[in-house]
Structure 1
Amino acid sequence: MFGKKKTVEQQMRDQDRHLRRANREMARDRTKIEQEEKKLQMEIKKAARQGNKQACAILAKQLVNLRKQKTRSYATSSTITSVGVQTKAMHSNMKMANAMGTTAKTMSKVNAQMNPQKLAQTMQQFERENAKMEMSEELINDTMDSVLDESGDEEEQDSIINQVLGEIGIDMSGKLSGVNVPSNELGQAQSSREFDEIEAKLNALRTPAD
């Protein structure tokens, strides 16, 4: 059975892992080259002290080749690193392109479903209905105010007048003992009978006691 096809993300991780491994191997090779380079330098010095020019020439040629190999190793490592960076950049660009493609499809669907004329008609209808609602609310408030003024204002006004007159009556008759002056029902005390009673009591108080 065939294995599952790897996604782009998995392929990127595998490639990055391979590139890192290759760079590590190149670094190990350079370390070995540098060790060989030191050995050749020591052998060249030894041959030079012995006066062996032929050996010095052969060893010097080997040293030159090692240094070229080390240079090529550095160049290869640089190329590997550059490939990794470029691959990541390409993957990032691909992700951005996919995101832009998805956004474009979404915008296309929205534009296909949106009818500018119908939307404008809906907004106009909303404004008309909102204006009607405001007018209706204003009419209802005016009607309620009118009803309340006609039905309850006169009774409330009479109650306030009676209360004020009652308070005035209490203040004026506060010095008269035994006189009952109603506080909130002074309007009813305006009858001739109650005035007669109050007048009789006032006269009794003015008459000197025997």
Structure 2
Amino acid sequence: MERERVQLERDEKKLEMEIKKAAKEGNQDVLKMLAKQLVQLRKQKARTYAASSKIHSVGTHAKVMQSNAKMAEVMGNTAKTMGEMNKVINPAGMSKTLQEFSKASAQMDMTDEMISDTLDDILTESGDEEEEDQIVNQVLDEIGIDLSGKLANAPSAVRGKVGESRLPNVPTEDDILEKLSRLRSD
């Protein structure tokens, strides 16, 4: 098609030159005949473009049809494979297996937690609390605080009834004034 189009373009240029030559010579009969040939040549050239686009369109349609056929073949194979998998896989069995896995996983988590707790208990029961108390007492002794002596003299919390405004063994204002006067007299 391309070669034919190139040949038609060459022929068109030759005809145009002959038309110019005939026009210069003033030969009207030859001029009309050459003009008619030029019109026919241009129509044929346009037809080659139309035929080329149709051929290109047919080629494109053929490629689309080929890809559709290939896709249909692949979809058929996929459907066949899925059907075979459905025969092999038992949904109820898969569900049961997943439930068993979940149970086993939960048991394993509980066992791991129990082992961790037991190890923590074993590691802390080896006299660590007594050693911790000794270290605290040593530090307090170094800074001059006698914890046991001060704790014995420290007031303890009194538990009373809810809403009771006065705590037992709390001196009143009169008791405080009396003790103050005794201290002054001594």
TM-score normalized by the length of structure 2: 0.58
- Give 3-state SS (helix, strand or coil) of 1:110's partner: helix
Identity rate of aligned residues, in percent? Answer: 47
Structure 2, unaligned runs of 5 or more? 145-186
Residue 200 (structure 1) aligns with = none
How far off is 1:140 after superposition? 4.2
Structure 1, unaligned runs of 5 or more? 1-25, 173-210
- Structure with greater contact order relative to length (CA < 8 Å, sep ≥ 6): 1
- Superposed CA RMSD in Å reads 3.3
Paired residue for 2:47, among 68, 72, 77?
72
Matched letter for residue 102 of structure 1: N
Q: Judging changes above 3 Å, is the alpha-carbon distance between structure 1 residues 123 and 57 closer, same or farther for their aligned structure 2 residues? A: same
Count of aligned positions = 144
Residue 102 (structure 1) aligns with = 77
Matched letter for residue 99 of structure 1: V
What is the CA–CA distance in structure 2 between the aligned matches of 1:141 and 1:134, rounded to whole Å?
11
- Give 3-state SS (helix, strand or coil) of 2:2's partner: helix
Residue 174 (structure 2) aligns with = none
What is the CA–CA distance in structure 2 between the aligned matches of 1:52 and 1:170, rounded to whole Å?
137
The 5 A counterparts of 1:58-137 are 58-137=33-112
How far off is 1:117 after superposition? 0.5
Matched letter for residue 40 of structure 1: L
Residue 179 (structure 2) aligns with = none
